[in-house]
A and B are shown apart, each in its own frame.
Chain A
Amino acid sequence: MAVRKMLDIPVNRVEGDLELRLEVADGVVVDAWSTGTMFRGFERLLVGRGALDGLVVTPRICGICSTTHLMAAAKALDAVTGAVVPDNGVRLRNLALMVEHVQSDVRHGILMFLADYANPAYAHLPLHDEAVRRYAPLAGEAVVEAVRETKRIIEIIAMIGGQWPHSSFMVPGGLSYGPQVTELLQCRHVLDAYRAWYERRILGCSIERWMAVDSLAALDAWLEEAQAHRDSDVGFLLRFGRAAGLDKLGGGHGTFLSSGSLDLPAETAARGTGGHLIPAGFARGIAVEAFDPAAISEHVAASWYAGQDGGRHPSEGETEPYASGEEGRRYSWVKAARYRGGPAETGPLAERVVAGDPLFTDLLARQGANALARELARLTRPATLLPTMAVWLSEVVASGGRDVYVNPGPVTDGEGCGMIQAARGSLGHWVTVRQGRIERYQIITPTGWNGSPRDSGGVRGPWEEALIGTPVADADNPVEVGHVIRSFDPCLVCSVHTVRKGRTMGRARLEA
């Protein structure tokens, strides 16, 4: 007879507060419930405030994606006012957002994901000593470098928008003020230096060489090709990850969403799809279809909210905390975001699948989604962004740097939506303004997709599903669970609206 037990696991090294309840049978996860443990209520706090206040309040939801929330808030207000942002405004907004992404991808990869390679659970692996030397928290060689370099790239956001995190320099119509062209030239030095470091340490090769890796076979060949490739962080991610079996962990539903991001300026040398550098789309497996924002809904059947059964579009959503007596059914105040009624994972891997990237399409076709592919997509995403960042920066410099704002007039009445890709995936802000005040504000974050609880149909959220089948060798140190969860790069601070009442659900808590 199978040995079944329940595990309650607080997960650290994620942004925010996450607890998992796992049902484990014979050392393998057979069911999972994901709970954020903190209710913050930012959306409710915005109701009744000034029309522009989302620009100040929403960046403060999160210290990592501050600029990203600002972009979504500004785009929602662009839509309300009908503002047409001038090309340099578009370029500099994009550049700032991309800086946030390329620092976040590296910080997550090195400080949060690869730190698990230094876990004592892997002491038996030949690569473990090297993993400790590289990724030990606060001390590893790669950690020291990542802290230093990611800090420098952020100087670009400060030169454009004053500070990072928590500035409010994107406003309906463009930017609050345009940097001088000499400051933009400084940005170029900072960008060039980051790219050089990223190529040398993270990739171990030029971005051009990396982008030529277009299949699983080509990835293997790349690893074989040079010691520098194997020694890079990407090389080590792969070598250790395969030895530890991470390419066989964390499958999930196999549905992927990208809402599209980084609007192309009217005139630019950069190439994109459908007006975006990062294309929009939805994929089942590797079959990609067009993205329809109207197909998004949020369920609260398993969430601590008062409200309807079934889904509701975020433009009509409510955020009413509701600690009911339905203890057995409701277990998270992360709402369940759904697309055409079903769950979808979002993030760098989803972006690459939707974009039809040959490497990740091949990886998925051969292996299915997995924790290693997810993190590989994240750690190599800067390779897809850094060249275009240089293009846009040059274009702003060439046009003199100014013309970043067109006044769209006062924000009085209207509805607007700002959907972009955050570092962790699809982010949407929906705002309704009446008589200069916010009447409604709803946000769906990437973790609202990835870390969602069950929906009205009882279907698990993406990382709940991805945990099914995960082995748990040591209940006191469930490192495998950490890999699966962290491969989604959870950000609970953005997503939780959670209150957790004391309850047992008839299950024992496993004490250490």
Chain B
Amino acid sequence: MSFLNSESPDVLQLFSSLGINVLHHPSLSNSSATQQASQLEVLGAGELPLDILVVEGAVLRGPAGTGMYDTRGRRPKKDIVAALARQARFVVAAGTCASFGGFGAQTEIEATGLQFNRAEPGGFLGADFRSGAGLPVINLSGCPCHPHVLAGTLTALVTGTELSLDQFNRPLSWYSMMVHQGCTRNEYHEYRVEEETFGEKGCLFFHMGCHGPLVTGPCNKLLWNQRSSKTRAGVPCFGCTSPDFPQNHPFFHTRNIEGIPLDLPNGINRAHYMVYKVMAAAAAPERLRQRRTEI
């Protein structure tokens, strides 16, 4: 549903300009169950080329590895995913559940991502899996995956443009920047002017559980629905692009040691950070202390 919000091009323009023939989409296709079943057969047998397989949602292996928590025609859906993945030139995992397992990982439903289980390589298809084009599963994490990231990835694949991937097989274009880059609260972050309750101006990192400086993603660059982002609207980033999403400790709360967050921006030395933030807070200009600077 988030993908339907893609802009310039929208989803339909994207498909037509790239010449993508959508063989099946569960919410949009008009084919009957019988037609779908025979199409699955033909695809699984390799008689109809499958250029791109986009999987949304985790692969459910429970209970006890059977996959019967998620079936189609009383057949585990994981078998369909395996059959199609074998034939596809490219396999794309759309969203954190398909990439890393997400909410159902480490639970009774035994959910896993296609090629990772949380941060652990392997997942459903195995660490060595390569699609027809010789690539691993391309992971587009996020809950949801940003529509422009999916549209951009499809465009790159169709046009033969190379995408460099990070350690979790996510395109660096979108996953090598921090979520908080571009947040309109950056001034408050810089000088450690903190929000301690909802409805205020201030940075959400120090008390409200914001992961903006901790995880990568293009939220504050691309923006959502062409307009805004959660952090701009006073909602902490929950780190939904991370293989470890969702965290086990409570949301909306920053774990602290001596008033400094337990989880620090990637690669930072704690002692240096503490000194830097004490000095930054001391240097905070009056317009920020008085919360006069708009967000």
> Which residues in A have some Cβ–Cβ distance to B below 8 Å?
8-15, 17, 19, 37-42, 44-45, 49-53, 55-57, 60, 63-64, 107, 111-112, 115-116, 118-119, 136-139, 143-144, 147-148, 150-151, 154-155, 157-169, 171, 173-180, 321, 323, 404-405, 407, 436, 476-478, 498-503, 512
Q: Is B271 an interface residue (CB 8 A)?
A: no
Q: Nearest CB to that of A107 among chain B residues?
A: B4
Q: With A150-B4, A323-B63, A407-B197 in contact, do A56 and B238 touch (Cβ < 8 Å)?
A: yes
| Complex Cα gap A60–B1 (Å) | 12
| Complex Cα gap A500–B76 (Å) | 9
Identify B226's interface contact among A57, A137, A155, CB under 8 A: A155
Number of A-B contacts defined by CB within 8 Å? 216
Contacts of B200 in A (CB 8 A): 177
* Cβ of B226 to closest chain A Cβ, rounded Å: 6
* Cβ of A209 to closest chain B Cβ, rounded Å: 30
Identify B225's interface contact among A39, A157, A500, CB under 8 A: A157
* Cβ of B288 to closest chain A Cβ, rounded Å: 16
Provide the B169-192 mask, 1 if CB < 8 A to any CB of A, else 0.
000000000000000000000000
| Complex Cα gap A116–B29 (Å) | 10
Q: With A55-B251, A178-B199, A512-B34 in contact, do A45 and B29 touch (Cβ < 8 Å)?
A: no
Q: With A158-B228, A159-B227, A500-B74 in contact, do A151 and B29 touch (Cβ < 8 Å)?
A: no
* Cβ of A456 to closest chain B Cβ, rounded Å: 25
Contact B250 A139 (CB under 8 A): no
* Cβ of B18 to closest chain A Cβ, rounded Å: 13
Contacts of A151 in B (CB 8 A): 4-7, 10, 225
Q: Is B119 an interface residue (CB 8 A)?
A: no
Q: Is B32 an interface residue (CB 8 A)?
A: yes
Contacts of A167 in B (CB 8 A): 230, 233, 235
Q: Is B38 an interface residue (CB 8 A)?
A: yes
Contacts of B224 in A (CB 8 A): 158, 162-164
Contact A154 B199 (CB under 8 A): no
Interface residues of B in 1-39 (CB under 8 A from A): 1-2, 4-7, 10-12, 15, 22, 25-34, 36-38
* Extra pairs beyond A60-B143, A407-B199 (9, CB < 8 Å): A44-B108, A151-B225, A162-B233, A165-B1, A166-B144, A168-B235, A168-B251, A477-B32, A512-B38
* Cβ of A14 to closest chain B Cβ, rounded Å: 8
Contact A177 B69 (CB under 8 A): no
Contacts of A158 in B (CB 8 A): 223-228
Q: In the complex, which range does the number of interface residues on chain B fall in?
A: 35 or more
Identify A13's interface contact among B15, B30, B227, B295, CB under 8 A: B30
Q: With A154-B5, A499-B69 in contact, do A176 and B228 touch (Cβ < 8 Å)?
A: no
| Complex Cα gap A64–B234 (Å) | 22
Q: With A63-B1, A148-B10, A164-B5 in contact, do A176 and B29 touch (Cβ < 8 Å)?
A: no
Q: Is B98 an interface residue (CB 8 A)?
A: no
Contact A115 B30 (CB under 8 A): yes
Contact B229 A12 (CB under 8 A): no
Q: Is B134 an interface residue (CB 8 A)?
A: no
Contact A12 B71 (CB under 8 A): no
| Complex Cα gap A75–B147 (Å) | 29
Q: Is B252 an interface residue (CB 8 A)?
A: yes
Question: 13 A-B contacts, Cβ less than 8 Å apart?
Answer: A17-B72, A50-B251, A51-B250, A56-B238, A137-B30, A139-B12, A157-B225, A162-B229, A163-B228, A169-B234, A177-B234, A323-B63, A407-B197
Contacts of A501 in B (CB 8 A): 68
Interface residues of B in 230-251 (CB under 8 A from A): 230-235, 238, 240, 246, 249-251
Contacts of A323 in B (CB 8 A): 63
Contact A177 B199 (CB under 8 A): yes
Interface residues of B in 60-114 (CB under 8 A from A): 60, 62-63, 68-74, 103-104, 107-109
Contact A138 B28 (CB under 8 A): yes
Q: Nearest CB to that of A168 among chain B residues?
A: B235
Contact A63 B72 (CB under 8 A): no
| Complex Cα gap A38–B71 (Å) | 7
Q: Is B286 an interface residue (CB 8 A)?
A: no
Q: Is B128 an interface residue (CB 8 A)?
A: no
Q: Nearest CB to that of B208 among chain A residues?
A: A176
Contact A111 B33 (CB under 8 A): no
Contact A154 B225 (CB under 8 A): yes
Contact B198 A177 (CB under 8 A): yes
Identify A138's interface contact among B22, B219, B225, CB under 8 A: B22
Q: Is B130 an interface residue (CB 8 A)?
A: no
| Complex Cα gap A14–B29 (Å) | 10
* Cβ of A121 to closest chain B Cβ, rounded Å: 9
Contacts of B232 in A (CB 8 A): 162
B31, B219, B294 interface centre (most CB from chain A within 10 Å): B31
| Complex Cα gap A179–B12 (Å) | 32
Contacts of A476 in B (CB 8 A): 32, 34
| Complex Cα gap A321–B233 (Å) | 38
Q: Nearest CB to that of B237 among chain A residues?
A: A162
Contacts of B11 in A (CB 8 A): 147
Contact A176 B199 (CB under 8 A): yes
Q: Nearest CB to that of A409 among chain B residues?
A: B197
Contact B225 A176 (CB under 8 A): no
Contact A53 B27 (CB under 8 A): no
Q: Nearest CB to that of A9 among chain B residues?
A: B33
Q: Is B289 an interface residue (CB 8 A)?
A: no
Contacts of B34 in A (CB 8 A): 476-477, 512
